[in-house]
Amino acid sequence: MNERDTPLLDVRGLTTHYVSARGTRVTRAVEDVSFTLRDGETLGIVGESGSGKSTLALSLLRLLPPAARIVAGAVRFEGEDLLNKPESEMRRIRGKRIAMILQDPMASLNPLFTVGDQVGEPLRVHEGATRRGAWNRARELLGAVRISAPATRVRNYPHELSGGMRQRIVGAIAISCGPRVLIADEPTTSLDVTIQAQYLSLLRELQRAQGLAMIFITHNLGIVARMCDAVAVMYAGRIVEAGPVRRIFGAPQHPYTRALIESIPRLGEANGRLTAIEGQPPDPAALPTGCAFHPRCPQRLERCATEVPHDTAIATDHRTACWLHP
């Protein structure tokens, strides 16, 4: 295997649980998740709310809340397992080698500091830039994310800017140290449709300009179709199907993936009605036995209620976990 074929990020069997204070309740947020990410690739992680997407992202950077525990697996970045690194080394990796954009920019930005100070902070921490040097670079970065009048905006505070501008500033912070991987966790949720489209185009341009690999976490399959090369579909903490976007959209093999695609609104449909997935996602602390999707699945088999399906290769780069493909 040559260097080009070696994954930049290789996740194997990652399992993250939340444990109650008394240890009596376990929530299986991420269960036996595996995927790879290569240089310049964009991987979409898609699923309903509560499927474990955000916990997966936080697990990769070991930024979990105190109640959460990574109980199994490996996260190999550039060949080294991040789960075995001391916290001091992780602090050097976060923001420099792997960066993250959160869905709520106000949760990422400190209201007490100017935009210039916050965009320049990673440069001072990771690259030893002076305050003036970081400030000058902050202006350049604001221009790179298409914020007008960057020399003025660096002096603004977050509350003085629109939601779209704040999200661009979070993007500027994320790319400030030239990371190799950018994790974007629902970055367009708080934006209206027009600003959302502009922001997605900006992320694409930044990715091409900086050679980023990207993990794009979303519940919006339209965004996946536009932004991603490959997609992993999550349900109840597990990846139930993964493969190239064109193959997944063209020939989905898991009933949940098929239901998600069929629920996308389409112009010109005869009755104008949306197709909904019956039932509700399960409680991660009380998952059904067997396949977690079986209570909602119109194609369930008898064994689906008792046995957890294993991964099956549909093609070289396409896999699914479903007893319809034993």
Phi-psi region of 221 (alpha: psi -120 to 50; beta: other; left: phi over 0): alpha
Q: Tell me the CATH number at 48.
A: 3.40.50.300
Residues in the chain: 326
Residue 245 lies in a domain: yes
Residue 144 lies in a domain: no
Residue 117 lies in a domain: no
Distances (CA, A) of 114 to 118, 120, 136, 154: 6, 10, 14, 7
Q: Phi, psi at residue 255, to the nearest 5°?
A: -55, -30
Give the chain's domain count: 1
Amino acid at 152: T
Which pLDDT value is given to residue 273?
A: 65
Residues 119 and 20: their CA atoms lie apart, in Å, by: 36
What's the average model confidence in pLDDT over 186-201? Answer: 84
pLDDT digits (tens, 9 = 90+) for 84-136: 999 999 999 999 999 999 877 777 899 999 999 999 999 999 989 898 999 99
Looking at the predicted structure, is the pLDDT value of residue 78 above 70?
yes
Distances (CA, A) of 146 to 117, 139, 199, 213: 18, 11, 10, 21
Q: Tokens for 172?
A: 């500027």
Residue 238 lies in a domain: yes
Which pLDDT value is given to residue 272?
A: 58
Q: What domain range is 217 assigned to?
A: 3-97+179-267+274-319
Residue 313 lies in a domain: yes
Residue 147 lies in a domain: no
Q: What value does the mean pLDDT of the chain take?
A: 91
Residue 43 lies in a domain: yes
pLDDT digits (tens, 9 = 90+) for 223-252: 899 899 999 999 999 999 999 999 999 999
Which pLDDT value is given to residue 326?
A: 80
Cβ atoms of 233 and 47 closer than 8 Å: yes
Helix 163-175 vs helix 115-127: angle between axes, to the nearest 10 degrees?
10
Q: How far apart are the first and last CA of the chain?
A: 29
Q: CA triplet 255, 259, 264: central angle to 5 degrees?
A: 155
Q: Name the pLDDT band for 269 (thresholds 50, 70, 90).
A: low
Residues 283 and 279: their CA atoms lie apart, in Å, by: 12
Residues 40 and 141: their CA atoms lie apart, in Å, by: 21
What's the average model confidence in pLDDT over 45-59? Answer: 94
108 or 204, which is more confident? Answer: 204
157 or 197, which is more confident? Answer: 157
263 or 53, which is more confident? Answer: 53
Strand partners for 12:
74
What's the average model confidence in pLDDT over 1-9? Answer: 69
Q: Name the pLDDT band for 2 (thresholds 50, 70, 90).
A: very low
Number of H helices, E strands in the chain: 11, 12
Q: Name the pLDDT band for 1 (thresholds 50, 70, 90).
A: very low
Residue 87 lies in a domain: yes
pLDDT digits (tens, 9 = 90+) for 296-309: 999 999 999 999 99
